[in-house]
Amino acid sequence: MTDIRFAWSALGGDPALVSRITTVEREGALGARLPVRELARACVGACALAAAELAARRAGLAEVPAVRVDDGAVATAFTSERHLLVDGRPPLTFAPLSRFWRTADGWVRTHANYPHHRQRLLLALGLPQDAEPAAVEAALAERSALDVEEAVYAAGGLAVALRTPEEWGAHEQATAVAARPLVQSERPDEARARVLPALEGSPALPAAGLRVLDLTRVIAGPVATRTLALLGADVLRLDAPQLPELADQHADTGFGKRSALLDLAAGRTAFEELLAEADVVVTGYRPGGLDRFGLSPEALAERRPGLVVAQLSAWGGYGPWGGRRGFDSLVQVATGIAAVEGSARRPGALPAQALDHGTGYLLAGAVLRALTEQSAEGGSRVVRLSLARTAAWLTQGSGPGASEPGGAPGSAGTGAVPSSVPGAPYDGPEPWLGETDSGIGRLRYALPPVAFAGGPALWARPPGHWGADVARWA
């Protein structure tokens, strides 16, 4: 079941604490054939409970603050990139070559939002770099979907063939994904417990005083670090100068953070100085992509004992697709979601990039729970999540892996349950949108859905220009 109890148990939380959650359920929010609304509610609820738990630990409270999860706030936040306005201008979302295409025997979906991915897609198809969508359409119509998938991947691009749930279930990568828990957690050493100073004042910021290195891009990872920034962390996002981020995407997920440029090869000394004072490192590049810089989770924890390392990937760091790049839209296509949400005439999509957003909130929750555990037990922590494993949860319920804490999958755990109250049907995002001035213009944006009694309501700072800050701690 896509249930808060299961999400909380996957984070290793005490099942009794689920009783601290109240959900406001609104019909019409994130409507789909699959239980998207329930998954979104579960991910945000588990994250908010992890934040409240850490706040209680640091403030010495006898009881974990009450958590409130409103379907309206969750649905708006899960589509935050669509609601962003910069000086009244709507965001640029998918590029012209990022879409579904018919092939000789089915469908593929491509992702070419970044210039280098567009270049590699056209190279794989034998087309000039100024090719228009009509030329791509004609080239793809002559080839099989699987042939396109492999050829574009071999060229370093991104294209995935449409599969039904049954076809994905027979794939080796699906088997490898299903064998893993929703949240993988490891304790690689016995480093001394990190002493977190007591929280004082209001609002309660459970991540106050913590330093987070953000090595993520696109949506899921930046959503996780945006959430940690909301909760008081000093989040410093680092990007390679030669890989500029899409401006609207950066603005949407940049709330509360600072953004700096650092070449990890040429700036190794600068990175090591940052790492020496970091509490958390969050990575979102494909598994193995940062290893050549000595930035594997194991290497990071070895150089900085007591570190929490959170690793996000598209397909999981295992199986035949373990090293592949991927995005939410492509994972939906491979895992059968697009087939389920579509029709006989055309594939479909979820009402939000729910794999990205859901995994992002779960990743933030996993970091918060790791910090809570560390404060009592010590030890470095490595947590790993993947979009494909979140997709398996959405499509199959709790799925295989009945050893996850909190009871067998499908039972969603036992004991305490969250309370719920009915709310008015979801009739649009307006009640959950805010406006603020920033260095990049007047912003309209989605308000944070993570809420607990006494906790923060807004981020401490709006987003700024990509790469405009200095690569050092505040």
| Residue type, position 430, single letter | E
Whether residue 442 contacts residue 86, with contact meaning beta carbons closer than 8 Å, is answered with yes
Angstrom distance (rounded) from CA 453 to CA 470: 34
DSSP codes joined into one string, 22-67: EEEE-TTTT--SS-HHHHHHHHHHHHHHHHHHHHHHHHT-SSPPPE
Residue with tokens 């999509």: 349
Angstrom distance (rounded) from CA 299 to CA 32: 42
Whether residue 183 contacts residue 435, with contact meaning beta carbons closer than 8 Å, is answered with no
Whether residue 18 contacts residue 418, with contact meaning beta carbons closer than 8 Å, is answered with yes
Angstrom distance (rounded) from CA 354 to CA 346: 20
* The two structure tokens encoding residue 19: 């009783």
Residue 220: name the closest of 92, 371, 389 by CA.
389
Half-sphere exposure of 195 (CA within 13 A, CB side): 1
DSSP codes joined into one string, 166-187: HHHHTSHHHHHHHTS-SSEEE-
Residue 49: name the closest of 20, 78, 9 by CA.
20
In angstroms, the Cα distances linking 170 to 150, 173, 255 are: 18, 9, 41
Residue 388: name the closest of 347, 340, 309, 327 by CA.
327
Whether residue 312 contacts residue 390, with contact meaning beta carbons closer than 8 Å, is answered with no
Residue 4: name the closest of 94, 68, 78 by CA.
68
Q: Which position among 356, 427, 437, 469 bears the catalytic label?
A: 356
Angstrom distance (rounded) from CA 390 to CA 322: 15
Angstrom distance (rounded) from CA 108 to CA 159: 6
Pairing of strands 21-25, 85-86: unpaired
Residue 338's SS3 state is helix
Angstrom distance (rounded) from CA 40 to CA 52: 18
Angstrom distance (rounded) from CA 403 to CA 41: 23
Q: Is 356 a catalytic residue?
A: yes
DSSP codes joined into one string, 369-392: HHHHHHHHH---EEEEEEHHHHHH
> Would you please indicate which residues are annotated as catalytic (active-site) residues?
356
